[in-house]
A and B are shown apart, each in its own frame.
Chain A
């Protein structure tokens, strides 16, 4: 398999002096479903944002598809972000706009600013957006306002928006943390579809170990900004669990 993402000795210190990432290294193979686990504040979200370069690392290196993207800027940075889809815990849709438009915004990076701001999306783009909505099974809601949808449906719209970018990689930052258990599985299954059927490499932050065991092909655990575990989901034993989450932690299952 090809190494798609390679993170080398990555560190990130915020301007206020907080060290969010400390010397983290790991590789992601093309087609993997890599899950990153760890407590809140362990640096999972920061790690995601250094991969699609919403954040710039203070030290180390991020390679994607063999290219060093650690410090790319301007046009190259936008090109890099375009190749990576991202979904968020809070969905981050444009609430007042229609579902269809929210998906079309996945294409913003590939069109001139004036054309997008005039709302002139092409017929092909609209067709593409509808196809993306069909993949996540909510094409029939395309003319509803985004905030009229339930949480699970909004996350599926967000997946469709990411799909619109035809991404090599999908970053999912706590995609189900705001959802109830049943909805969580439906969202996770769409991520699985993207991974298995479309060959998209998925890097996903998760809280629940039961979900990790079910969906992850490999696991990286962070604690206090440093990598403490890397391996297969079934290797996370009771001891590892305590090492990652602390002695007080009790595993909660989500079925």
Chain B
């Protein structure tokens, strides 16, 4: 059952999807598929006249098909029962667009299986793997020190982020913030802020901070702090939204203030899950800290990128082994601790 309004939106949506799919199919055909079959290279530069014509034709074609009841738009939105040629077209037009995408993807990713199995390539791979498998033990002291730096860096990032996340999370929990318009506004604003900062990778934060405070562990730590605040706030807030409402009601019924209601009925229900999330986040941060080191965030990652730049693969092998062991130990330990906390 749908209202006329819903049917209108559905029809407009269907035509829009048909038009987009048609334009897309036309463009991919003329810009990528045909040239790479004919000349072995895809189109470059801005849109040519031919490509624009192809897009227009594709759009017109698909919209026309849609009007005759065989577009993909309406089949996605409404799933109507069809028969005859419309059913055949509807069933296959989606696959056609998908196949075009696979071809375009193959071309753009420059996939070349022959490179993977060429004699020269295999020789290089053999050289690197044998070097990695015979690690240079002379640098083990230096590597362990850098690893310890990374672990502490990750720890400090978590430690500094936790109080911020804890404080902010209560303002990001819908169940605590939906009883007044100004609270809802704060909730929406903070949710936006944390979602936005979480969508920026720590790697990019590391680049920002390495310019800001100089290359080194401090920049890496700051990058992790920003990312950890955003991630933990979300996890904490979701936990708060999950608490049993009963104790909140009971404490509110005693005439307690809002702050007391949260402190005495919400917080006790959350401490253990919060602790669990925090330990897991430290574990994740150790892994991220090694990657962040690659772009100037200090620690073992920094060391790794330097030896890689010098093509000293035996040293790189040593570093990779240490990272793998530490990450594995952290993983096991944090899983055990979290299990014990349940």
Contacts and interface: CB of A to CB of B under 8 A. Distances in A.
Contacts of B246: 88, 90, 92
Interface stretch (B164-172, B194-202, B248-256): B248-256
A97 interface: yes
Contact of A88 (B249, B264, B265): B249
A245 interface: no
Contacts of A80: 255
A96 B264 CA distance: 11
Q: Kindly state the interface size class of chain A when it binds its partner.
A: 20 to 34
Given A81-B252, A107-B254, A110-B255, 18 more contacts: A54-B252, A78-B257, A84-B253, A85-B254, A88-B246, A88-B249, A88-B250, A92-B247, A92-B249, A94-B264, A94-B268, A96-B268, A96-B269, A105-B256, A108-B260, A109-B255, A113-B259, A117-B260
Nearest to B257: A113
Q: Which of B246, B256, B263, B265 lies at the interface centre, i.e. has the most chain A CB atoms within 10 A of its CB? A: B256
A94 B280 CA distance: 26
A161 B254 contact: yes
A158 B254 CA distance: 11
B263 A94 contact: no
A213 B259 CA distance: 42
Contact of B250 (A78, A84, A86): A86
Contact of A165 (B249, B255, B265, B268): B255
A109 B247 contact: no
Interface string B258-302: 011001110011010000000000000000000000000000000
Contacts of A233: none
A166 B255 CA distance: 12
A90 B246 CA distance: 7
Contact of B255 (A93, A94, A96, A108): A108
B250 A81 contact: no
Interface of A: 52, 54, 78-86, 88, 90, 92-97, 105-110, 113, 116-117, 158, 161, 165, 171
A86 B253 contact: yes
Interface in B128-162: none
Contacts of B247: 92-95
Contacts of B251: 94, 105, 108
Contacts of A54: 249, 252-253
A158 B263 CA distance: 18
A116 B254 CA distance: 13
Contact of B256 (A83, A88, A108, A171): A108
B250 to A, nearest CB: 4
5 tightest A-B contacts by CB?
A109-B255, A82-B255, A92-B250, A108-B256, A81-B255
By DSSP majority rule, is chain B's interface helix, strand, loop, or mixed?
Answer: helix
Contacts of A107: 254
19 contacts: A54-B253, A81-B253, A88-B249, A92-B250, A94-B247, A94-B251, A94-B264, A105-B254, A108-B251, A108-B256, A108-B260, A109-B254, A110-B255, A116-B256, A116-B264, A117-B259, A117-B263, A165-B255, A171-B253
Contacts of B260: 108, 113, 116-117
A105 to B, nearest CB: 6
B254 A108 contact: yes
A110 to B, nearest CB: 8
Interface string B215-247: 000000000000000000000000000000011
A86 B271 CA distance: 26
A211 B90 CA distance: 67
A81 B253 CA distance: 6
Contact of B254 (A90, A95, A96, A106): A106
A254 B302 CA distance: 74
Q: Which of B249, B250, B259 lies at the interface centre, i.e. has the most chain A CB atoms within 10 A of its CB? A: B250
A90 B253 CA distance: 14
Nearest to B262: A117
B250 A108 contact: no
Nearest to B261: A108
A81 B252 CA distance: 8
Nearest to B258: A113
A110 B251 CA distance: 13
Nearest to A114: B259
B267 to A, nearest CB: 9
A79 B254 CA distance: 9
Contacts of A161: 250, 254
B252 to A, nearest CB: 6
A78 B260 CA distance: 12
Contacts of A116: 256, 260, 263-264
Contacts of A117: 259-260, 263
Contacts of A110: 255
Contacts of A92: 246-247, 249-250
A98 to B, nearest CB: 11
